[in-house]
A and B are shown apart, each in its own frame.
Chain A
């Protein structure tokens, strides 16, 4: 019987955590620009010149 009250408490606390997380995200401006991050994630970190040269060398090795 008391289990129900416990579960109730947990469910509300969990929901509160999500609410707070959303409010924090909204407050820190994460919802202001919904387009740019979706593009940003697709950019590769390109290797630096020296690394690139090294990569090419590695490829050439048998």
Chain B
């Protein structure tokens, strides 16, 4: 709460915006909003947004889900949704405006789906209403509202699991008497039960397990033996043998094993596919750029879609809007925030006639610019024309990919030799042994070990604010040997905390220091001046500067020296960005700019530097070279003034030398490098904010835990190896019976679930154990 809050009745508000929201709400009898949470809503200091482009039919048509004569349905992404009060208010929109018929929130996705009467209220008015009550919809070029395509595949999988589960349950019920043996009296039930079982196995085989056959077949044609091959083979053999046994009434087959196996492996698949709905890993500049921009032609302002923007167009950028294309400033004062591009939060000022690159956000009043390059050809955006964005990132060979090849070959060899061994003595036994091997060695436990381990690790990471795109990233993380850091916003803290000072300076001394530091262009000097916050009083005489080391001068008759310990001839005890002060040959202490790096960066760099090859790629000037040099093994691994394209190229050069590169970046200018690297991690301080396309999103608060995450990933790979050993030993037990042709359905029915349960327990327990060991839980 600020010192002088805003009032409405007896209530206090932090700003005018919040008060007006309260007034809107209370006038519509919606004050319950304030009862569901202590501090609902967010501070309303932002400037109003302009939604006039939503009146353009062409633009609106792309956004709308459904429309007819009367009503329109639209799904909007609202980043501000964060608490139960938000849900309550946004679902009560119909009370604010009677023409809004219904609004439904999807909280995890931060989306609201609004149905409104399009005759009485326009899309623009809906957007403005939302903006007025503090829920500004984010409408961008690449619509961030996820269309339902992704969830269809997931729903299909759920349906497959449900069908398999239904059949599994019923088959188990009908198989139970078999386990205890039918008596003489009820022996005739067996045939009926078996036939029902066979019927129940059909949907499992033909629907639930279908994907395994398809995948095994397509891979086989490409000459790849993946894990789906032994699974599909096992399922097929199980079905054929069971059907043969049941039809000839010689036995009851392995229907129970077939159903349970399919059910479990499908659950494993589902675990692997689960994703974070509220995070997007596929963002590029389009999800950040607006859909339209205001063009000025013949003195008239008109919104045009971004794709129609052409070179030579004159555009109007209002406060808080994004400059969508490289342009020249024609009118107004440009104060531009490039934090999305570079990660640097300090605004950049531009003068008339200067080139303004796309991607910046105008902070000052409205400006007018002339477009010099089309949107897709701008300095920043042309990065996405690079070929690395055209192709899919090549999939890594996971452990189970590698293993399954040898596993399949060995399995076939054992099955064939068991069959051949018996073929001369007993043909029936030969067939029994051959099929039994394929059934019992069906790598159910193996297929489950990776998804369950990795999903457990993913949830541990998730608790520590490290979000991975999928489970494969864990294995990738364990293989990394080279790390590349971006500087601004990634290893520096965007909210720089200023200076720590070891001794007290009097007001006059502070004045002297400020007046001297004002003369230097060094970032530390500038920060110092800003921090001291003194008006200019004296001019400096005999001012001398040794770039990057220190400055001296006479201010108001006093001899003032600022700089590094070496420059001033002091015994250095501190590390980091330190400015020592000497006034009239008297040592006054030093300023320490500790906050410059993210907390824990030093320890992190020291720790990782032992095992990993560290590099730095920065788009900035090299004034931090001195202070960063100690963290990186060789100065040639520090690179400054890198363009987005150069960053990308640098990564591919490293990869050509055989390195497995992890890139840590934050801005759009790192997008190419993040994409090109083997593992791109976007570092961000607010996961709901924009982050470029990447494999993982790391919350800035968890930055220091990076070595722990890597260790956990390595342990996860270790767990998968152990699971492999466990499932192989279960297989060995089963094979012992199988090769002798002695495998009874009962043994199979016991062994399969036991091995599955063992694996699931082992993976989740050991993942937690290692998480404790790595101090992540």
Chain A residues with CB under 8 Å of B192's CB are 5
Interface of A is mostly: helix
Interface check A39, CB cutoff 8 A = yes
Known contacts A4-B189, A35-B108; is-contact A40 B91 (Cβ 8 Å): yes
Interface check B158, CB cutoff 8 A = yes
How many angstroms from the CA of A15 to the CA of B162 in the assembled complex? 11
Question: Is there an interface contact between B32 and A19, defined as CB atoms closer than 8 Å?
Answer: no
Question: Is there an interface contact between B107 and A15, defined as CB atoms closer than 8 Å?
Answer: no
Q: Which of A5, A33, A46 contacts B109 (CB 8 A)?
A: A33
Taking each of A16, A19, A34, which has the highest tally of chain B beta carbons within 10 Å of its own beta carbon? Answer: A19
Question: Is there an interface contact between B162 and A44, defined as CB atoms closer than 8 Å?
Answer: no
What per-residue 1/0 map shows which CB atoms of A24-62 lie under 8 Å from chain B? 001100011111100110111010110000000000000
Chain B residues with CB under 8 Å of A19's CB are 162-163, 166
Q: Which of B29, B158, B169, B189 contacts A31 (CB 8 A)?
A: B158
Q: Which of A8, A26, A35, A48 contacts B196 (CB 8 A)?
A: A8
Q: Which of A11, A26, A34, A48 contacts B158 (CB 8 A)?
A: A26
* Residue in A closest to B92 when the chains form the complex, CB atoms: A43
Question: Is there an interface contact between A32 and B106, defined as CB atoms closer than 8 Å?
Answer: yes
How many angstroms from the CA of A35 to the CA of B110 in the assembled complex? 11
Q: Which of A5, A22, A23, A32 contacts B151 (CB 8 A)?
A: A32
Q: For window 138-170 of chain B, which residues contact chain A by CB distance below 8 Å?
A: 151, 155, 158-159, 162-163, 166, 169-170
Question: Is there an interface contact between B170 and A12, defined as CB atoms closer than 8 Å?
Answer: yes
Chain B residues with CB under 8 Å of A43's CB are 32, 36, 88, 91
* Residue in A closest to B159 when the chains form the complex, CB atoms: A23
Question: Is there an interface contact between B173 and A22, defined as CB atoms closer than 8 Å?
Answer: no
Chain A residues with CB under 8 Å of B104's CB are 36
| Cβ of A29 to closest chain B Cβ, rounded Å | 8
Chain B residues with CB under 8 Å of A44's CB are 32
Question: Is there an interface contact between B106 and A33, defined as CB atoms closer than 8 Å?
Answer: yes
Known contacts A26-B159, A32-B106; is-contact A11 B173 (Cβ 8 Å): yes
Chain A residues with CB under 8 Å of B170's CB are 11-12, 15
Chain B residues with CB under 8 Å of A4's CB are 189
Interface of B is mostly: helix
What per-residue 1/0 map shows which CB atoms of B27-39 lie under 8 Å from chain A? 0010010001000
What per-residue 1/0 map shows which CB atoms of A1-24 lie under 8 Å from chain B? 000110010011001101100110
Interface check B588, CB cutoff 8 A = no
| Cβ of B151 to closest chain A Cβ, rounded Å | 6
Chain B residues with CB under 8 Å of A39's CB are 84, 87-88, 107
How many angstroms from the CA of A32 to the CA of B104 in the assembled complex? 13
Question: Is there an interface contact between B87 and A36, defined as CB atoms closer than 8 Å?
Answer: yes
Question: Is there an interface contact between A36 and B106, defined as CB atoms closer than 8 Å?
Answer: yes
Known contacts A11-B173, A33-B108, A40-B91; is-contact A49 B29 (Cβ 8 Å): yes
Interface check B651, CB cutoff 8 A = no
* Residue in B closest to A49 when the chains form the complex, CB atoms: B29
How many angstroms from the CA of A44 to the CA of B162 in the assembled complex? 35
Interface check B204, CB cutoff 8 A = no
Q: For window 526-581 of chain B, which residues contact chain A by CB distance below 8 Å?
A: none
Q: Number of B interface residues, CB 8 Å?
A: 27
How many angstroms from the CA of A35 to the CA of B106 in the assembled complex? 8
Question: Is there an interface contact between B108 and A22, defined as CB atoms closer than 8 Å?
Answer: no
Interface check B105, CB cutoff 8 A = yes
How many angstroms from the CA of A27 to the CA of B159 in the assembled complex? 9
| Cβ of A38 to closest chain B Cβ, rounded Å | 9
Chain B residues with CB under 8 Å of A23's CB are 159, 162
* Residue in A closest to B165 when the chains form the complex, CB atoms: A19
Chain A residues with CB under 8 Å of B109's CB are 33
Question: Is there an interface contact between B29 and A46, defined as CB atoms closer than 8 Å?
Answer: yes
Q: Which of A8, A15, A36, A46 contacts B166 (CB 8 A)?
A: A15
* Residue in B closest to A5 when the chains form the complex, CB atoms: B192
Question: Is there an interface contact between B32 and A46, defined as CB atoms closer than 8 Å?
Answer: yes
Question: Is there an interface contact between B29 and A48, defined as CB atoms closer than 8 Å?
Answer: yes
Chain A residues with CB under 8 Å of B36's CB are 43
How many angstroms from the CA of A46 to the CA of B196 in the assembled complex? 55
| Cβ of B89 to closest chain A Cβ, rounded Å | 10
Chain B residues with CB under 8 Å of A22's CB are 162
Question: Is there an interface contact between A26 and B162, defined as CB atoms closer than 8 Å?
Answer: yes
| Cβ of A57 to closest chain B Cβ, rounded Å | 17
Chain B residues with CB under 8 Å of A33's CB are 106-109
How many angstroms from the CA of A11 to the CA of B193 in the assembled complex? 13
| Cβ of B475 to closest chain A Cβ, rounded Å | 29
Chain B residues with CB under 8 Å of A49's CB are 29
Known contacts A36-B106, A39-B84, A49-B29; is-contact A16 B158 (Cβ 8 Å): no
| Cβ of B31 to closest chain A Cβ, rounded Å | 9
Chain B residues with CB under 8 Å of A40's CB are 87, 91
* Residue in B closest to A8 when the chains form the complex, CB atoms: B196
How many angstroms from the CA of A20 to the CA of B714 in the assembled complex? 43
How many angstroms from the CA of A4 to the CA of B174 in the assembled complex? 12
How many angstroms from the CA of A33 to the CA of B146 in the assembled complex? 13
* Residue in B closest to A52 when the chains form the complex, CB atoms: B29
Taking each of B104, B166, B189, which has the highest tally of chain A beta carbons within 10 Å of its own beta carbon? Answer: B166
Q: Which of B107, B158, B173 contacts A36 (CB 8 A)?
A: B107
Known contacts A32-B106, A36-B105, A39-B107; is-contact A15 B169 (Cβ 8 Å): yes
How many angstroms from the CA of A18 to the CA of B167 in the assembled complex? 12
| Cβ of A47 to closest chain B Cβ, rounded Å | 9
How many angstroms from the CA of A53 to the CA of B188 in the assembled complex? 75
Chain A residues with CB under 8 Å of B84's CB are 39, 42
| Cβ of B355 to closest chain A Cβ, rounded Å | 46
| Cβ of A8 to closest chain B Cβ, rounded Å | 7
Q: For window 609-642 of chain B, which residues contact chain A by CB distance below 8 Å?
A: none
* Residue in A closest to B169 when the chains form the complex, CB atoms: A15
Chain A residues with CB under 8 Å of B29's CB are 46, 48-49
| Cβ of A4 to closest chain B Cβ, rounded Å | 7
* Residue in A closest to B28 when the chains form the complex, CB atoms: A49
How many angstroms from the CA of A48 to the CA of B30 in the assembled complex? 10
| Cβ of B83 to closest chain A Cβ, rounded Å | 9
Chain A residues with CB under 8 Å of B169's CB are 15
Question: Is there an interface contact between A16 and B189, defined as CB atoms closer than 8 Å?
Answer: no
Q: For window 35-50 of chain B, which residues contact chain A by CB distance below 8 Å?
A: 36
What per-residue 1/0 map shows which CB atoms of B174-194 lie under 8 Å from chain A? 100000000000000100100
How many angstroms from the CA of A19 to the CA of B88 in the assembled complex? 33
What per-residue 1/0 map shows which CB atoms of B93-106 lie under 8 Å from chain A? 00000000000111
Question: Is there an interface contact between A16 and B166, defined as CB atoms closer than 8 Å?
Answer: yes
Chain B residues with CB under 8 Å of A31's CB are 158
| Cβ of B614 to closest chain A Cβ, rounded Å | 40
A-B contact pairs, 25 of them (CB 8 A): A8-B174, A12-B196, A15-B170, A16-B166, A18-B166, A19-B162, A19-B163, A23-B162, A26-B155, A26-B162, A27-B155, A32-B151, A33-B106, A33-B108, A35-B108, A36-B87, A39-B84, A39-B87, A39-B88, A40-B87, A42-B84, A43-B36, A43-B91, A46-B29, A46-B32
Q: Which 9 A-B pairs have the closest CB atoms?
A: A36-B107, A19-B166, A33-B106, A39-B84, A35-B107, A39-B87, A36-B105, A43-B88, A22-B162
Which residues of A are in contact with B by a Cβ distance under 8 Å? 4-5, 8, 11-12, 15-16, 18-19, 22-23, 26-27, 31-36, 39-40, 42-44, 46, 48-49
Which residues of B are in contact with A by a Cβ distance under 8 Å? 29, 32, 36, 84, 87-88, 91, 104-109, 151, 155, 158-159, 162-163, 166, 169-170, 173-174, 189, 192, 196
Sample of 14 further A-B pairs with CB below 8 A, known A34-B108, A39-B88, A49-B29: A5-B192, A8-B174, A12-B170, A15-B166, A19-B162, A23-B159, A26-B158, A27-B159, A32-B106, A32-B151, A33-B107, A33-B109, A39-B107, A43-B32
